[in-house]
Amino acid sequence: MDDKTIQNLREALEFSPDNIPLRLHLAESLRLANMLEEAEEEYEIILQYKAEPKARIGLALISYKQKNYSKAIVILESLIQEGNKDLDTHLFYTRALVRSNDTHQAIDAYQDLLKFHPDFSDDELDKQLRRPSTSEGDYEDGDEYDDEYDDGFNEASVFIEKPEISFKDVGGMDNVKREIDLKIVQPLLHPEIYKAYGKKIGGGILLYGPPGCGKTYIA
């Protein structure tokens, strides 16, 4: 989209500032031109009028591009919960979860995406969220083949298994576990309580210590 077209859209909006389709067209044009801050401003104006899904998706894509993955996740998750099955919505939701290192939820999100778009594939997501499947030919003589690994999503691979471990599997480090639970886990489980007391959720905790003391395991 060239600068002249964008300028024409701006001039048209001066005469019709409440024209949502026109403003949405301008916002999309700005986003595609990589004028992200200006596009974000237009999307925000649209959302003051109505909860336009395209404006919300546009905001999420801008947040993703700006590496504000938590904001993108919140927006896209709300759209999905409302029943949105659009490919880009599910795709960028999954990618944002991967960038946020939330592998468990990313696996679920990718499985949901493939339910609605079974022919879709993405090399990056497949590499990070899937592992090679075990076929009959991989078994030694006498081994029994178990078809429970065939999840129906892709014959060449299955999704990474979610670990079943929790804090109870970590011996000792009670103070560390208590801090993580208080500052990370509980705010995510009960955001309304923390909001009522003016506390923000999010942030992080730095784990430090010599090699082998359990930092990675507890993380």
pLDDT tens digits, 47-78: 888 888 888 999 999 999 988 888 899 989 99
What is the pLDDT confidence band of residue 203, given thresholds at 50, 70 and 90?
low
Looking at the 3D structure of the chain, how many domains does it have? 3
One domain for residues 74 and 41: no
What's the whole-number mean pLDDT along residues 163-186?
75
The segment with the largest mean pLDDT, out of 47-51, 131-135, 147-151, 153-157, is: 47-51
pLDDT digits (tens, 9 = 90+) for 69-117: 888 999 899 999 988 898 999 999 999 999 888 888 899 899 999 999 9
Q: Is residue 192 situated within a structural domain?
A: yes
Domain hosting 193: range is 165-219
Answer yes or no: is pLDDT of 4 > 50. yes
One domain for residues 14 and 77: no
Sign of CA dihedral 196, 199, 204, 207: negative
Instruction: Give the global pTM.
Output: 0.57
Buried b / exposed e over 45-83, threshold 16 CB at 10 Å, is bbeeeeebeebbbbbbbbbbeeeebeebbebbbebbeee
Distance of alpha carbon 160 from its chain centroid, rounded? 17
Q: What percent of the chain has pLDDT over 90?
A: 12
One domain for residues 28 and 97: no
Of 121, 141, 163, which one is at a domain's C-terminal end? Answer: 163
One domain for residues 35 and 95: no
The helix (H) or strand (E) run that includes residue 159 is: strand 157-159
